[in-house]
Chain A
Amino acid sequence: MSDSHTSNPLFNEQPVGVIGSGNFGTVIANLLAENRNVWMYTRRQEVVDAIENARLHRGQQINPRIKAVTDLAEMARNCTLIFPMLPSKFFRDAMQQMGPHLTPAHILIHGTKGLDVQLPQFEAHDIREFKLGLHQVKRMSQVIAEESCVLRIGCISGPNLSGEISKHLPAGTVIASRFNEVIEEGKAALRSDRFMVFENNDLVGVEMAGVLKNILALGSGMVTGLGLGENARALMITRGWRELMRLGELFGSDKNAFMGLAGIGDMIATCSSPLSRNFDVGFRLAKGETLAQIIASMDEVAEGVNTVKTAMALIRHFGIHSPLIKSFHLVLFEDVPIKDAIKQLLSHKHGPDVDFL
């Protein structure tokens, strides 16, 4: 611990909470620990042991200022600034556990790039007919608001491949919230000389850009896996971006967020990097593995897979023209061979180039 740290007045304040001990959660906890004491929540005792004893988790050194905890209530009592960093499918559960302990004084900034689908029989429907209305699909910030009395909510999103940040490579991110106060608190806690933090008041836009761009990462993996070339990738991404912005609008997002670090920025990183889980899924699909095989072999969720399913259900419900997402859905969930899907895709009529700005 250097002197500059101990002289920082923030160090005398309450710790910052991080919920989730996945790759990204661990990276964020380490970044926060450069400024503040951090409590990191995990459900698994072996993770607590790894953090407390070996100070090594997910291949990352753990900052000595990080303490592992297994009690969400205790975290809520001790931290008012909390970063939930969980896969979307565990998100609501965790918020329901924590909700009874949160107060209006809490500030929550999540880092989850997925959607919550409120339908217990999600799997039971015929996937080809499945429709979802907006009231059944929730952003993570909506889940927080629904499961607790917290109003001051934000999110963090951007080209933040965990592997690179943990190697101390430079990176930037966006903190979005309607509340300036949330952005300020988040910035102060995360700021470091290798991690730039930008601000955005369009919470919905930043959340949706981060969620939806995973769809293109999947597609990009497929293009690479099939060896279709860079022209095809550029075509897919650019036309796909138009479809994503249209979907984002449904949720009420502003177009600007899609143009920033959490949109185009994140898309460039995930669509060109094999480090991205979503890219990896697309790549392996193209190489002939089945979706079930791929999912079984991964230790973390590729959010993009569920996002394609949810997006397609929304597209059906609202009758939106969205040929690319439809093709991804055919390949992922309707057993259509990739080559047939591409043929079908290329047969679409060609419209104007830019009509979405």
Chain B
Amino acid sequence: MSKEQDVESNIPKSFPPVVPDIREWPIYKMAKDREKLIDVVVKRTEDELFEHLSKGNGLLRNIADIYYQERVRLQENPWKVDPKDDPAFWKRVRNKLQRLAQPGHEDPEAVRALLHEIVERYTREVAGDFKEGTYNFARKFINFGFSRVFNAAQQGLFRGFRKQRMQLQEKMQLVGETEKLRELTKLGTVILVPTHFSNLDSIVIGWAIETLGLPAFTYGAGINLFGHPILAYFMSRLGAFRVDRRKKNKAYLTVLKSYSEEVLLRKGHMLFFPGGTRSRSGSLESRFKLGLLGTAIETQRKLLLEGNDNDHKIFIVPLVISYHSVLEGRGLIDEFLRQEGKEQFVLLQDDSESIRKNLSFAWKFFKSSSEMVFSVGEAMDLFGNKLDDEGNSIDKYGRVLDLRDYFRSNGNETNDPQRSHEYTRLLGQQLLERFQIENVVFSSHLVAFAAWQILLREKNGDIYRLLNVPEEDLFIPREEMLKTVDRLHVRLRELERNGRLRLAQHMHTDIRAIIEHGLKNIGVYHINQPLLRGKKGELLTQDLRLLYFYSNRLKGFDLEKYV
């Protein structure tokens, strides 16, 4: 007991819980009502699909197509995580299809029942759960992990609590509109939209959500992550739902959409990685998968116009996470270069093995003295408008907007899917801009960018030519680095003044100190260093690809010409 208190007191406690009683959390209530939720999702999906799939080739043929795609998946790309009875289930589906396709055996009821079976299987696979006990355990474990390792890393065994806590807050900073985010979780449903660089993102975001005193968020996690028994245990009890990127058939996608819609309707806060997967190149997201955002807009429309809950609002909050190091950076950039180099079809990999490696890396990550900044962006509604303290949408003149107007045409409320699709696209654009503005630039990003660009200039901007040069042959004179970083720093400060990005605190010092800080922190736990100091003060690299990866973080800010 006393030990537990010990752990607790290491947690930064600046944010009290918004809703202290876990049983009041939407995610808890949904888990309690899980069976009914599944029923609703199945029913809605089935109705929508029935209408949609009955057109064209007819329901039977469309189910046969789904079967065919599933058979291809089972044969060509099976994953460890797939349920053991998958082949048996689809075999049964095939038998039923064959029977129903025979002349004289037409049976619309039976076809519909088959659709129901498939939809229910998908829904049960997707649906997440939430266990209070596991949550309480995880929150302690993660907090313990973070505070413990930071202290261990500093070898300060006899530090006072206050110092320990301060240190953690120093290392993992939550900046930006944190209070607003807390308020909004009370006022409506929040979709937190983070950047995605590392598999550890979900863990560190979990920590951030807990530290901010927010109720737990649910999110769609790649089904491959559930291949790892420990991860699977936690994720499936902490509200994550499963997303299988291999399944692209209409029935499965409709289940996902319908499930998300139901979560939003039940005021379940969600986490949505808009890039879809981790950034392969190391740059901020430049293209979005809009999936959930589209569902959110459609759900908001229904809430406003069709439901009786028309002041229930959905809010969007961007979150940019800045690291000095990305554990799996090397693997990501390799994949990026493979894809860029030749436009070949890349089979989605079962990467549960690499996840295991990542977890063992996690300890290194905890131990590294690296800092992390979570930049909570300004909240907006689904149309990119700002929000006042009551959660009302306001325009730039401070007027409260009636969101129903977005769905009105000539004074009438209309349902226009193409219009909603455009609203979704515009929201995606807004978020990309927000990511840039909320981005916190670190010293390591700056030195990587400067070094890579200097080397690249010598190869006339040809990335592949540069990547083919052996690392031993490359160096950057101290003076040139100094001058380049200086020019870039001046420009970055200008961009910060104009509100187009943010600089980390450690960036507000003199150039030499920034370079040293960057060199000390960049990719600390890689075996081969992306950037290091040579004997004569020049800069060297042991891993050009990693250098490229880290330099990409500053891509898209139009900085190249200042090199």
Contact = CB atoms under 8 A, between A and B. Distances in A.
Contacts of B90: none
A149 B385 CA distance: 8
Specify which of A105, A133, A147, A148 lies most central, judged by the most chain B CB atoms within 10 Å of its CB.
A105
B418 A179 contact: yes
Contacts of A179: 418-419, 422
Interface stretch (A45-53, A96-104, A165-173, A323-331): A96-104
Interface residues of A, number: 21
A281 B406 CA distance: 43
Interface in A70-111: 80-81, 99-100, 103-105, 107
Interface in B377-420: 383, 385, 395-397, 399, 401-403, 405-406, 408-411, 416, 418-419
Nearest to A180: B418
A206 B558 CA distance: 26
B423 A151 contact: yes
A264 B219 CA distance: 49
A100 B558 contact: no
Nearest to B403: A104
Given A99-B396, A105-B405, A14 B411 contact: yes
Interface in A145-194: 147-149, 151-152, 178-181, 185
Contact of B401 (A103, A152, A185): A103
B416 A104 contact: no
Nearest to B423: A151
A133 B491 CA distance: 14
Given A13-B410, A104-B383, A105-B408, A181 B401 contact: no
A181 B558 contact: no
B395 A80 contact: no
Contacts of A104: 383, 401-403, 405-406, 408
B44 to A, nearest CB: 26
A133 B425 contact: no
B527 to A, nearest CB: 39
B558 A178 contact: no
Contact of B409 (A14, A103, A181): A181
Chain A binding surface SS class: loop
Contacts of A80: 410-411
A180 B408 CA distance: 14
A323 B517 CA distance: 46
A149 B419 CA distance: 16
Specify which of B406, B411, B425 lies most central, judged by the most chain A CB atoms within 10 Å of its CB.
B406
A158 to B, nearest CB: 23
A181 B405 contact: no
Contacts of B410: 13-14, 80-81, 185
A100 B558 CA distance: 33
A155 to B, nearest CB: 15
Contacts of A149: 383, 385, 395-396, 401
Interface in B409-449: 409-411, 416, 418-419, 422-423, 425-426
Interface string A130-149: 00010000000000000111
A151 B383 contact: yes
A286 B499 CA distance: 45
A53 to B, nearest CB: 32
Interface in B330-388: 383, 385
Contacts of B399: 100
Interface residues of B, number: 23
A345 B406 CA distance: 51
Contacts of A152: 419
A81 B422 CA distance: 19
B416 to A, nearest CB: 6
Contact of B422 (A107, A133, A178): A178
Contacts of A107: 409
Given A179-B419, A181-B416, A151 B405 contact: no
Nearest to B425: A178
Contact of A151 (B396, B402, B406, B411): B406
Nearest to B397: A100
A103 B402 contact: yes
A191 to B, nearest CB: 16
Nearest to B393: A149
B443 to A, nearest CB: 25
Contacts of B402: 103-104
A288 to B, nearest CB: 39
B242 to A, nearest CB: 34
Nearest to B500: A135
Contacts of A99: 395-397
A220 B395 CA distance: 44
Contacts of A148: 395-396
A107 B399 CA distance: 18
A148 B409 CA distance: 17
A180 B425 CA distance: 14
A81 B425 CA distance: 23
B419 A181 contact: yes
A179 B395 CA distance: 21
Nearest to B427: A151
Interface in B244-268: none
Contacts of B383: 104, 149, 151
A149 B383 CA distance: 9
A103 B405 contact: yes
A133 B403 contact: no
B395 A181 contact: no
B310 to A, nearest CB: 16
A181 B418 contact: yes
B1 to A, nearest CB: 55
Contacts of B396: 99, 147-149
Contacts of B409: 105, 107, 181, 185
B500 to A, nearest CB: 8
A180 B419 CA distance: 7
A105 B383 CA distance: 13
A138 to B, nearest CB: 14
A107 B419 CA distance: 12
A104 B385 CA distance: 11
Contacts of B418: 179-181
Contacts of A13: 410
A147 B385 CA distance: 12
B524 to A, nearest CB: 35
Contacts of B425: 178
Specify which of A100, A104, A148 lies most central, judged by the most chain B CB atoms within 10 Å of its CB.
A104
Nearest to B395: A149
Nearest to A81: B410
B49 to A, nearest CB: 25
Specify which of A81, A149, A151, A178 lies most central, judged by the most chain B CB atoms within 10 Å of its CB.
A149
A133 B385 CA distance: 25
Contacts of B423: 151
Nearest to B408: A105
Given A80-B410, A104-B403, 17 more contacts: A14-B411, A81-B410, A100-B395, A100-B397, A103-B402, A104-B402, A105-B405, A105-B406, A105-B408, A133-B558, A149-B383, A149-B395, A151-B406, A151-B423, A179-B419, A180-B416, A185-B410
Interface of B: 383, 385, 395-397, 399, 401-403, 405-406, 408-411, 416, 418-419, 422-423, 425-426, 558
Interface of A: 13-14, 80-81, 99-100, 103-105, 107, 133, 147-149, 151-152, 178-181, 185
List the 8 shortest-distance A-B pairs measured between CB atoms, nearest first.
A105-B405, A104-B405, A149-B395, A100-B397, A104-B406, A105-B408, A180-B418, A103-B405
15 contacts: A14-B410, A14-B411, A103-B401, A104-B401, A104-B402, A104-B403, A148-B395, A148-B396, A149-B401, A151-B423, A178-B422, A178-B425, A179-B418, A180-B419, A185-B410
